[in-house]
A and B are shown apart, each in its own frame.
Chain A
Amino acid sequence: MFTDEEAHGLLPAAEARAKNRNWLRWQDMTFWLVIVALAIIGLVVNDSYVRHILILVLIWALVAASWDLVLGYAGIFNYAQLVFFAVGAYASAMFSLYAGVPALAALGLGTIVGAASGLLIAIPCLRLRGEYVALFTFAVHLALPSVIQQGRSIGLGGSAGLLGIPPINLFGNVLGPMNKLGWFFFALTVVSVCVYIIYFKLLRSKLGHAFVALRDADDFAQSLGVNERRYRLIAFVISAAFTALAGGMYAHYTSVLTPKILGTEFFLMVMVMLAIGGMGKYPGAVLGAFIVVTGNELLRAFDDYRLLILGITVVLAVLFLPNGVVSLRDRFSRTKVKA
């Protein structure tokens, strides 16, 4: 958030703070301007395929943003993000399929179940450090598909999946799979509010500062009284809740749910979003979601090579764009200042 001059103490504190406040206000404004621009694009471009891609971009942007919260900002090596996505999706689908809960309420219940699953995975992780968290969470991710496949008897649908998940009914407007415009505005509203909460409310509050402090200087932050366990738990639960919401939206949008959502393709896609966009740097993850989902659709023509290209993209992006595409902006602006 601070520019180079402030970091080097070249500006007086009050002036620096005022400048920072202006910068934050400017970021707020651009965020909503981009959302309005997106809304106009979705309204004007009367093509259901484009709208479909925009909806997917929005859903994945929320997943990427919540992963960014826990991985990029809180610095917890959590690789179980798609587990929360799947839990949210399955919970929401099952509430509306078996209990007859209206889809919108099921979405809310799915979010709560997702948050609970975040809590459940976070508790063992609190005792683990660094890479052990990565190993444990990734093991949970890899074990879940077989649990779903075994869980036919408790209504998880096995490998065939859950079919005919009811659509969301919004004040009489049924958001069926054909109602792309309705879905687009629903997704845009939910996702923009959630992403705004993540980046502009949570991460700018005391909570966000605690996350970054624990990430960058664990022992020092703790010695100043930042409760590590509490904040790691909070990071997990919040990020799980938002991801589960995205999962529920995905379930009701596609109306079909299979264990494939835990397959390599989706995992790889979200990872590429973070790798390309840049972790812990707003708007990296969200931008990454836009680039990757559209790129993935453009690569449909080379279906056999798509995953290979995605994998190589991760390697190259991490190698040559250490902080994602947002670092290009920094590099550009720095050279401009020097010139």
Chain B
Amino acid sequence: MQQFMEILLGGLSQGAVYCVIAVGLSLVYGAARILNFAHGSLYTIGGYIAWTMTSGYLGLPIWAAMLVAIPILFVLGVGLERMIIRPMRARENWKINTIMVTLGLAFALDNLSQIVFGPSAKTVAPFVDGTIELFGVTISLYKFWMFWIALALVAVLEFFLSATRFGHAVRAVSQDIQGANQVGIEVNHVFAFTFGLSVVLTGLAGILLAPVFLVSPLGGWAPFLKAFVIVVFGGLGSTRGAFVAAFVLGLMESFIVFYLGAPWTMPIWLLMLLCVLMVRPKGLFGVWEN
């Protein structure tokens, strides 16, 4: 029983962080129809910002690093959308061009971080030490807080989408770009804003996971690939689908790791994904027509 609880709690905290990465990826696809292959590299950039702010150069506490990182990441996201993604939209085959351009961006960012920060992994100290006893299971206090921060981020996003005017605009655009345009929503602003928001989310996830997984130039690909599977599993463009899928797959991962070993995670996830896609080609909650 105790073992079961241990696996369960581990899976939940893992799922919560996956959720933050996956929701950002899904959000930007839903609103702007952009499949952002640089999502994982921007996650790494978040980690490097945290490292620079804390142990690297400035010696700030990690919560301060997160607060400073939010505007930096947002401006980065808006800038990228404005400079390299918006020009694609006018093209005939812009979908394939955006995939190309974001993949190119991902490789450029990875190699840039490798040149600037070196190939070795950087460590970031967690903001709390120690452990906590929950249902007879001992887990680290940092993971406990990580779970709640991740959940809070998703809750804030969900509140923003469902209760604010701008959030409504984002949802309107994701339902029907042309219709939203006709009723006077500034579609381009929504695109830029959601892209910025998704970069903030993935960057914050990068900061949250920095003490656990360390920060390295190619470290973003593994979480990205997982977010990728989660988003397809839940349905492209559906933030709720990503939420559910993140917890389902996070729990599954912790059981697989316990019973079979970590290398089996991806093959089994892909198998699950294949089964889901065979039955529901648009994922669990996917509604979007391409």
- A residues with CB within 8 A of B: 71, 75, 77, 79, 124, 127-132, 134-136, 138-140, 142-143, 146-147, 150, 264, 268, 271-272, 274-275, 279, 304-305, 307-308, 310-315, 318-319, 322
Residue B232 interfacial (CB < 8 Å): yes
Beyond contacts A132-B290, A134-B35, A135-B35: 11 other A-B pairs, Cβ-Cβ < 8 A, are: A75-B96, A77-B99, A131-B99, A132-B283, A139-B273, A147-B267, A268-B107, A275-B100, A308-B108, A308-B112, A318-B104
Chain B residue nearest to A131 (CB atoms) is B35
Q: Is B74's beta carbon under 8 Å from chain A?
A: no
Interface residues of B in 152-199 (CB under 8 A from A): none
Which chain B residue shows the least CB distance to A71? B96
List B contacts of A315 (CB < 8 A): 84, 101, 104-105, 108
B167 CB to closest chain A CB (Å) equals 24
Residue from the set B107, B115, B270, B282 with the largest chain A CB neighbour count within 10 Å: B107
The answer to whether residues A150 and B35 also contact, given A131-B236, A311-B108 and a CB cut-off of 8 A, is no
Flag B16-28 by CB within 8 Å of A: 1 or 0 each. 0000000000000
- Please tell me which one of the listed residues B218, B221, B236 contacts residue A132 in the complex, with CB atoms under 8 A apart: B236
Given A77-B99, A132-B282, A139-B228, is A311 in contact with B104 using a C-beta cutoff of 8 Å? yes
Closest 9 A-B residue pairs measured CB to CB? A314-B104, A311-B108, A130-B290, A311-B107, A308-B111, A315-B104, A307-B111, A318-B101, A129-B290
B96 touches A77 (CB 8 A): yes
Could you jot down 6 A-B contacts, CB within 8 Å?
A130-B95, A131-B35, A131-B95, A139-B273, A279-B96, A314-B107
User: Which residues of B lie under 8 Å from residue A146 when comparing CB positions?
Assistant: 263, 266
- The 8 Å CB contact of B104, one of A124, A130, A131, A312, is A312
> In the complex, what's the smallest C-beta–C-beta distance from B132 to chain A, in angstroms?
34
Kindly identify, within residues 231 to 290 of chain B, every residue whose CB is under 8 Å from any CB belonging to chain A.
231-232, 236, 263, 266-267, 270, 273-274, 277-278, 281-283, 290
Q: Taking the complex as formed, is B8 at the interface, i.e. its CB lies under 8 A from any CB of chain A? A: no
Chain B residues in 8 Å Cβ range of A279: 93, 96
Confirm or deny: B225 has a beta carbon within 8 angstroms of a beta carbon on chain A. yes
Q: How far is the CA of A71 from the CA of B273 in the complex (A)?
A: 23
Q: For chain B, give the interface size range.
A: 35 or more
Q: Which residues of A contact B103 (CB under 8 A)?
A: 271, 314
When distances are taken between beta carbons in the complex, the residues of chain B under 8 Å from A308 are: 108, 111-112, 115
A142 CA / B267 CA spacing, docked (Å): 11
Task: Say if the beta carbon of B140 comes within 8 Å of chain A.
Answer: no
Q: Give the complex CA separation of A311 and B109 in angstroms.
A: 8
Within the complex, the shortest CB–CB distance from B114 to chain A, in Å, comes to 8
Residues of B within 8 A of A (CB): 29, 35, 37, 84, 87-88, 91, 93, 95-97, 99-101, 103-112, 115, 218, 221, 225, 228-229, 231-232, 236, 263, 266-267, 270, 273-274, 277-278, 281-283, 290
Q: Which of A274, A275, A305 sits near B115, CB closer than 8 Å?
A: A305
Question: Which residues of B are found within 8 Å of A129, using beta-carbon distances?
Answer: 281, 290
C-alpha spacing A268/B109, complex, angstroms: 13
Residues of chain A within 8 A (CB-CB) of B106 are 311
Main secondary structure of the interface of A (DSSP, over half): helix
A128 to B225, CA, bound (A): 18
Residues of B within 8 A of A310 (CB): 107
Residue of B nearest to A150 (CB): B263
Residues of B within 8 Å of A318, CB to CB, are 88, 97, 100-101, 104
Q: Return chain B residues, CB-CB under 8 Å to A147.
A: 267
Q: Which residues of B contact A143 (CB under 8 A)?
A: 266-267, 270
Out of B109, B218, B221, B232, which one reaches A135, CB within 8 Å? B232
Q: Chain B residues with Cβ under 8 A from A127's Cβ?
A: 277-278, 281
Q: Which residue of B lies closest to A279 (CB)?
A: B96
Contact A271 B35 (CB under 8 A): no
In the complex, chain A residues whose CB is within 8 Å of the CB of B104:
268, 271-272, 275, 311-315, 318
- B236 CB contacts on chain A under 8 angstroms: 131-132, 135
User: Which residues of chain B come closer than 8 Å to A319, judged between CB atoms?
Assistant: 84, 87-88, 101
Residues of A near B225 (CB, < 8 A) are 139, 142
- What residues of B have a CB within 8 angstroms of the CB of A275 in the complex? 100, 104
Q: Please determine whether B277 and A139 come into contact, CB atoms closer than 8 angstroms.
A: no
- State in angstroms the CA–CA spacing of A248 and B273 once bound together: 31
**Complex contact A132–B232 (CB within 8 A):** yes
Q: How far is the CB of A301 from chain B (nearest CB, A)?
A: 15
Complexed CA–CA distance, A127 and B104 (Å): 28
Tell me whether B91 and A134 are in contact (CB under 8 A): no
Q: Output the least CB separation between A326 and chain B (Å).
A: 15
Q: Which chain A residues lie closer than 8 Å to B232 at the CB level?
A: 132, 135-136, 139
Instruction: Compute how far the CA of A27 lies from the CA of B8 in the bound complex, rounded to whole angstroms.
Output: 64
A-chain residues with CB within 8 Å of residue B270 when the two chains form the complex: 139-140, 143
Q: Residue on B with the closest CB to A215?
A: B93
Contacting pair B274 A314 (CB below 8 A): no
Taking CB atoms, residues of chain A closer than 8 Å to B107 are 264, 268, 307, 310-311, 314
- A134 and B29 CA atoms in complex are apart in Å by 13
Interchain CA distance A268-B97 in the complex, whole Å: 15
Q: Which residue of B lies closest to A305 (CB)?
A: B115
Q: Which residues of A contact B290 (CB under 8 A)?
A: 129-132
B99/A136 in contact, CB under 8 A: no
